[in-house]
Amino acid sequence: MSRYRRAQVPGATYFFTVNLLNRRSDLLVRHIDLLRETVRATRSRHPFHIDAWVVLPDHMHCVWTLPDGDADFALRWKVIKFAFARRLPKTEILTATQRSRGERGIWQRRYWEHLIQDERDYRHHVDYVHRNPLKHGLVERVADWPYSSFHRAVGAGIYPVDWCGDEAEGFARDAD
């Protein structure tokens, strides 16, 4: 089995993509209140700052900054994924491997993580997070997607409410 190397820098800022196993599911938005509650509970035990976050039906992107001296984002994702899955009804079909490991068939086992390198990289990834519902054709304007930190950023004066308007110019065609 491959050993994945992850950049672990205490107090750093990271971009993440976390996917459901079933990429045709709408589980994340259908259970958005449970997801929010799970993230709040995790942050109370294992603090981190949410720089940006968007939840789409089958995956989510976020940018987090960890506390000084702490690089354990893996623990936070483990807690979020486990706590969210534990509170959902068991309706998914499991493989023999999933059953033998005591897993749920909800999340992809891995996730994408990227250590933010500088201010330009930070801006690119935060913008990517906020544009993602538009990229996936879920809305015609970024402001129309309700499950995004974009609204908080507008309130803080970081973006105008009509940012990215009705067009997706400037998109990085990153894979989800």
Annotated catalytic residues are: 147
pLDDT of residue 2: 56
Q: What is the pLDDT of residues 86-130, one digit of tens each?
A: 999 888 888 888 888 878 889 998 899 999 999 999 999 999 999
Q: What is the pLDDT of residues 142-151, one digit of tens each?
A: 999 999 999 9
Q: What is the pLDDT of residues 23-82, one digit of tens each?
A: 999 999 999 999 999 999 999 999 999 999 999 999 999 999 999 999 999 999 999 999
Residue 167 pLDDT exceeds 60: no
Q: 3-class DSSP state for residue 15? A: strand
Q: How is residue 162 written in tokens?
A: 């009509």
Instruction: Tally Cβ neighbours within 10 Å of residue 9.
Output: 11
69 forms beta bridges with none
Nearest to 72 by CA among 1, 4, 14, 3: 14
